[in-house]
Structure 1
């Protein structure tokens, strides 16, 4: 670790080599457990500085306590979400909406979009979501007694749900999967190419819906008005991009971790088979235990936060997987209890920027687990194979080969 990579105002005592990208257990590892690897963080200072804790190797302050993360995430004037995460891959500077907007624009767009994802609206989508899950699983069950659950189910399921909400067929499923993978996990060239392809796709769908409106998400967006005006092309793009990239990799990863857990814990698998009404509660515990997203904010001014001097421009990491294993917040945090009550996890963030699609994501995961258990006999990880897990900006699991009799 080089001192010249650490800002002068950061005390040496608060510097740690811990990183969600490079620490042991975070790199792609067979039979790894990146969530368990973060346990040591809770024996460290409640706020510390990690010099290499972003995709591009920049340093961040790391907030370890759940209550402190909530303070950061609800104070969007001091800790801004506007970082142009996506558009910077294109050398541009426009926000994903509403995630990267600041007040008052954030409130205006949030009020516009929130009604699309209420529990009632999500319930209206449930029939199609369940149909998409069951079709994929039925195909798997007919073809074999084993599958790569990420490639054959979790990823195509989340893409099919996205395309359904957009009013599109699943003929573009494979190419969307590749774009999102390259964007989130590819190198610089692949990431730029994927970002441009996604922008072109969103612009294409928006143009189509202006000419041929339908009862779908993009039609609502291109017809929407804020403050008595239509949305600009850039605003439509910012909404469309966020909806695409926020709901695919994260939900697929959650399903992967959940099914891997159930494969390794047959008693809990049997519990949910016997009492499927428990699945919604169990999903909340699995969201807590296997949170996938590191949320990063940028300080808009110098601030003393819980005794630590954070300067304007500093990046602040609220890694949900750290907060959701906080022993001050959760009894026996490393124990997965599918009957846990009062589960105040922050897997979907917290405060004004709480994930817009949280209700839909919850139902996707619960439906995916329910339909899998209803259609696939008792399953386990195939002997001779090992799931590969990784840390990073979005934790994930791959090469998850499940088998059943």
Structure 2
């Protein structure tokens, strides 16, 4: 599995820890992948993880938040250009702006930033809240338990994002299936999902060139850079990235948050009695239950903070590890919903800080507010156990909650 240990990697720096395969990372009932990831802080601040990508490649892994920030803020040395989606199809084009490096990154980021600005998110707040209320009211009148991911987190967050993109909500299950196969499936499943997503984005772009509408894809096909329309692969790169980004990560965050509140009645009671604390609590939950790891590719040979990194080496910056760093957070494995000055990196750092962070944050806050205001005190249903997993994006499934 994967490549042998590269010649330049000292054997004493090699570890079998992996965010995909180590204990607590595989699909297990009542798992704690975040706690499992945090245990690396008992060891060295950098090591070479032998099998730390979906295809089993080795990566350097930085455990300290300050070292991860140095990597993420230095795109000249640590590139984002991996064409990870296109490579599943045998192609070579970047997800935009995620896999672009400066200066091209800044050009496309400036084009897209206004669509995700705080002002734009505020304008969407009423419709986001309406979607949350509709779903949670249906849950509250239909019984005294539900499977949170299937019944609430996924329909809510994906519904918001499909509305944002101008996509049909009735295909939600199909879209989510593609995203799960792409992010968590095997090689064959990833390739098939990638092709389905690409065909859908290409068809939507072609339709919007002929029949413009007031939606995201119309904006993309009509946008101009340097007085020219975007090329086909540029439209693809933007469309695919935003399509995939909205289908998994925010739903997973809400799932982990509700699982925490179900297991911690004091925290649940606190947010019920003082709902104004939800905004602050959301930042702590983002810190404690971060879901994404970033990979960068070294553009040159460099001895970086004790690691002999060579051109082409992968460097992993895992948010769930940085955000449990004892050098940055007091009692990092204690989830303190009153924690202030919470400088977490759940949305990454540097020029590639998450484009949709404002939208994601508001979705989580609104989702928690409406769930807590409509659903009585809840707990994990007796006889059930949520299933968690690590990987490129951490996730939770089979989260069955019940209430009186």
Give distance in 1, aligned partners of 2:55 and 2:234: 26
The offset of 1:322, in angstroms, is 0.3
* Mapping of residues 4-403 of structure 1, within 5 Å: 5-403=4-402
**Structure 1 stretches lacking a partner, 5+ long:** none
5+ residue gaps, structure 2, are none
Taking the aligned partners of 1:169 and 1:220, their CA distance within structure 2 comes to: 17
CA contact (8 A) 2:28 2:389 kept: yes
Could you tell me how far apart the structure 2 residues matched to 1:87 and 1:126 are? Answer: 34
Superimposed CA distance per residue, residues 162-211 of structure 1 (whole angstroms, 9 cap, x where no aligned partner): 11002233111111011111111122222111111111111122222222
CA–CA distance in structure 1, aligned partners of residues 166 and 51 of structure 2? 41
**Distance in 2 separating the partners of 1:266 and 1:206:** 48
**TM-superposed deviation, 1:350:** 0.3
Q: For residues 102-128 of structure 1, give each alpha carbon's deviation from its aligned partner in whole angstroms, at most 9, with x where no partner exists.
A: 121111101111111111111111111
Q: What TM-score do you get using the length of structure 1 for normalisation?
A: 0.98
Aligned equivalents of 2:33 and 2:98: distance in 1?
26
Equivalent position SS for 1:90? coil
Task: Give the whole-Å Cα distance in 2 for the aligned partners of 1:202 and 1:339.
Answer: 42
- Counterpart CA distance in 1 for 2:210 and 2:63 is 49
Preserved contact between residue 175 and residue 247 of structure 2 (Cα < 8 Å): no
SS of corresponding position for 2:194: helix
Give 4+ residue runs of structure 1 displaced > 4 Å after superposition. Answer: none
**Counterparts of 2:240 and 2:41, CA distance in 1:** 35
Q: TM-score, structure 2 length as denominator?
A: 0.98
Question: Does the CA-based 8 Å contact 2:46-2:306 persist in structure 1?
Answer: no
Q: C-alpha distance in 1, partners of 2:137/2:212?
A: 33
